């Protein structure tokens, strides 16, 4: 593959950073150089914010555009992305380490996310309200308007998809955006912004700045010219962004980390529960915010389940993501080392490692950042591997005796993103998911996500929702309009007899 260089896209033009600084992108599969990106600072972010501000407040082309025209442009973006889907998936797989078929699914979802929000742009919004007539004959109704300049900051685990989950609704609602992808994974964003360029979005409507969170991200979070920041990433960064965003009290939407429970009752179908638990924790190398990283299983069922899960995990193929193995490498060497450190802490704290527990170095994998699928049995609540988000292919096993105990263990976390339950008792399944304090739950499955359904967390897993009609509203302000139908003097409060 040619070495790609990713520049910023500001005010309708590709630009290197003001400093001229550049960084290399490392292919996690083998440590080779897969690309370079311009490395931006606060000044570049400020230029992008200014362009978006001018486009929104002065040019007003995108927010003022006829909704059919805006929808057509978003549908064109979807079509162009679909046309380039093979290229986008291949680049995404190389850059992020995810198996090619998973990258293909991400691109497919991204295409349909644009189509979904293009459709929603013209859907009915707002409402009309009955009001008492003490002030005269009045009507009250509400309209939805774009928020303004939206700063969108995303992580590296689903680089294209996490970006599109924000960009598509923000644009459909008529906002102008400044997008900061993770500087680990900007390659698919290059394709996306080439598509925006081709689709004819007015200059300044979409801007992209690539650089570290400590400069570019902080400038976006702090700027009083940014009206909203929508962030996906770790809880610690989300807290920092919230504090910085308080300067102009901008709207804040946060999709953060998780340590999600996967509760399995003894009446569950063994094979089904094992396969879904594998998807829950090993999909995307476990680098998934909603990963079912804590298996909480009825004690009488544990041995049978762990034996089968271990057999299946040991049979997983690991290798170059382009060869479509079950699992690819982790994103960077430093992230791999962080995951390995958690594994060591699990062993030191007395958890029983029944599968994996090491860096995987067979054959060509020795050059990359691979971790074997890892299962820790006999875990207890105080262990670090049970409490903290590892963000890798590591799952812990705890047991319960009663339904109440299962829910209590599930909720003994500061996170509240997701959770699953496996049982053939329908009423119990519903009781349990209603007891889990989390925003996304699954019954007899784990991890499927749908563009039309709201996504987001309770507790330290987030604020607000992405996707669906609810996610669309995040990118809108609501204005109340009250109209007096029989204008004329009513006298100072004289007719005020509500
Ligand atoms: P991260 O918080 O380190 O970085 C995310 C983004 O924020 C990156 O673009 C980064 O450059 C930027 N950033 C870092 N520090 C910043 C700061 N102080 N101000 C502004 N921006 C800053 O997260 P990560 O390591 O890239 O991603 C992994 C995390 O993302 C995990 O915790 C995972 O659970 C979470 N995540 C959540 C969801 C969800 O939907 N809830 C989805 C995917 C990932």
pLDDT level of residue 297 (50, 70, 90 thresholds): very high
Strand pairing report for 440-443 and 228-232: unpaired
Catalytic site residue from 113, 150, 289, 355 = 289
Q: Is the pLDDT at 360 greater than 60, yes or no?
A: yes
What is the pLDDT, as a whole number, of residue 132?
A: 84
Give the mean pLDDT of 447-471: 97
333 is catalytic: no
Give the mean pLDDT of 304-325: 98
Give 401 Cα–ligand 1 centroid separation in angstroms: 36
Give the mean pLDDT of 119-140: 89
pLDDT level of residue 1 (50, 70, 90 thresholds): low
List Cα–Cα distances, 435 to 10, 264, 290, 346, 461, in angstroms: 47, 15, 17, 28, 17
Nearest ligand 1 atom to the CA of 255 is 41
Asked whether 215 lines ligand 1 (CB < 6 A), one says: no
Q: Is the pLDDT at 276 greater than 80, yes or no?
A: yes
CATH 3.40.309.10 assigned to domain 261-443? The reply is yes
pLDDT level of residue 10 (50, 70, 90 thresholds): very high
What's the CA gap between 406 and 412, in Å, rounded? 10
Nearest ligand 1 atom to the CA of 158 is 43
145 is catalytic: no
Q: Give the three-state DSSP class for 20.
A: coil
Distance of CA 1 to the CA centre of its chain: 28
What is the pLDDT, as a whole number, of residue 174?
A: 98
H helix or E strand, kind and range, residue 270: helix 270-282
Catalytic site residue from 102, 255, 473, 474 = 255
Give the mean pLDDT of 262-282: 98
What is the pLDDT, as a whole number, of residue 362?
A: 97
Spell out the domain ranges in the chain: 4-256+461-481, 261-443
Q: Is the pLDDT at 133 greater than 80, yes or no?
A: no
What is the pLDDT, as a whole number, of residue 194?
A: 98
Q: What does the pLDDT look like over 96-106, one tens digit per residue?
A: 999 999 999 99
Among positive and negative, which fits the CA dihedral 305, 326, 36, 79?
A: negative
What's the CA gap between 187 and 169, in Å, rounded? 22
Give the mean pLDDT of 460-478: 98
What is the pTM assigned to this prediction? Answer: 0.97
Asked whether 397 lines ligand 1 (CB < 6 A), one says: no
What is the pLDDT, as a whole number, of residue 135?
A: 75
Asked whether 104 lines ligand 1 (CB < 6 A), one says: no
Strand pairing report for 394-400 and 294-298: parallel
Same fold, 4-256+461-481 and 261-443: no
Give 291 Cα–ligand 1 centroid separation in angstroms: 15
Q: Which of 32, 427, 429 is nearest to 262 (CA)?
A: 429
Q: Across all residues in the chain, what is the average pLDDT? A: 96
pLDDT level of residue 498 (50, 70, 90 thresholds): very low
Give the mean pLDDT of 328-355: 98
What's the CA gap between 233 and 165, in Å, rounded? 13
What is the pLDDT, as a whole number, of residue 495?
A: 52
Q: What does the pLDDT look like over 186-244, one tens digit per residue?
A: 999 999 999 999 999 999 999 999 999 999 999 999 999 999 999 999 999 999 999 99
Distance of CA 129 to the CA centre of its chain: 35
Q: What percent of the chain has pLDDT over 90?
A: 94
Pick the CATH number of 4-256+461-481 from 3.40.605.10, 3.40.50.12500, 3.20.20.210, 3.40.630.30: 3.40.605.10
| DSSP conformational letter for 455 | B
Give 71 Cα–ligand 1 centroid separation in angstroms: 30
Q: Measure the CA angle with vertex 154, ends 384 and 220; round to 5°.
A: 115
């Amino acid at each position: 593959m040619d070495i790609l260089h990713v520049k910023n896209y500001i005010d309708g033009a590709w630009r290197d950073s003001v400093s001229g600084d550049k960084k290399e992108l490392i292919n996690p599969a083998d440590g080779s150089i897969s690309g370079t990106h311009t490395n931006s600072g606060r000044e570049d972010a400020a230029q992008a914010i200014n362009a978006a501000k001018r486009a929104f407040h002065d040019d007003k082309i995108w927010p003022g555009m006829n909704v059919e025209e805006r929808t057509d442009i978003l549908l064109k973006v979807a079509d162009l992305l679909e046309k380039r889907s093979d290229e986008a998936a291949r680049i995404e797989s190389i850059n992020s380490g995810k198996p090619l078929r998973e990258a293909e699914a991400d691109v497919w979802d991204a295409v349909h996310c644009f189509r979904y929000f293009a459709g929603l742009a013209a859907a009915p919004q707002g409402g009309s309200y009955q009001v008492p007539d003490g002030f005269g004959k009045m009507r009250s109704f509400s309209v939805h308007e774009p928020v303004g300049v939206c700063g969108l900051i995303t992580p590296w685990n689903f680089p294209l998809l996490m970006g599109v989950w924000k960009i598509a609704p923000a644009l459909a609602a008529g906002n102008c955006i400044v997008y900061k992808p993770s500087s680990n994974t900007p390659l698919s964003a290059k394709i996306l912004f080439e598509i925006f360029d081709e689709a004819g979005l007015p200059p300044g409507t979409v801007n992209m700045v690539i650089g570290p969170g400590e400069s570019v991200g902080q400038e976006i979070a702090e700027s009083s010219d940014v009206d909203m920041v929508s962030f996906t990433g770790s809880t610690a960064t989300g807290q920092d962004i919230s504090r910085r965003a308080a300067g102009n009290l901008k709207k804040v939407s946060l999709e953060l980390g998780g340590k999600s429970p996967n509760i399995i009752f003894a009446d569950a179908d063994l094979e089904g529960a094992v396969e879904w638990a594998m998807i829950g924790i090993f999909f995307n190398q476990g680098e998934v915010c909603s990963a079912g990283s804590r298996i909480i299983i009825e004690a009488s069922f544990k041995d049978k389940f762990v034996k089968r899960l271990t057999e299946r995990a040991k049979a997983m193929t690991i290798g170059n993501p382009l060869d479509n193995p079950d699992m690819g490498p982790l994103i960077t060497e430093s992230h791999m080392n962080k995951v390995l450190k958690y594994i060591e802490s699990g062993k030191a704290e007395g958890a029983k490692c029944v599968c994996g527990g090491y860096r995987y170095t067979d054959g060509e994998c020795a050059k990359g950042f691979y971790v074997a699928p890892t299962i820790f049995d006999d875990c207890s609540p105080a262990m670090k591997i049970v409490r903290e988000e590892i963000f890798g292919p590591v799952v812990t096993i705890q047991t319960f005796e009663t339904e109440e105990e299962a829910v209590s263990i599930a909720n003994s976390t500061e996170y509240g993103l997701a959770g699953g339950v496996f049982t053939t008792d329908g009423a119990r399944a519903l009781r349990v998911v209603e007891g889990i304090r989390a925003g996304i739950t699954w019954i007899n499955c784990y991890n499927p996500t749908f563009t039309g359904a709201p996504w987001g967390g309770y507790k330290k897993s987030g604020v607000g929702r992405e996707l669906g009609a609810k996610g669309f509203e995040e990118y809108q302000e609501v204005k109340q309009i009250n109209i007096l139908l029989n204008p004329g003097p009513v006298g100072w409060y004289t007719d005020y007899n509500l």
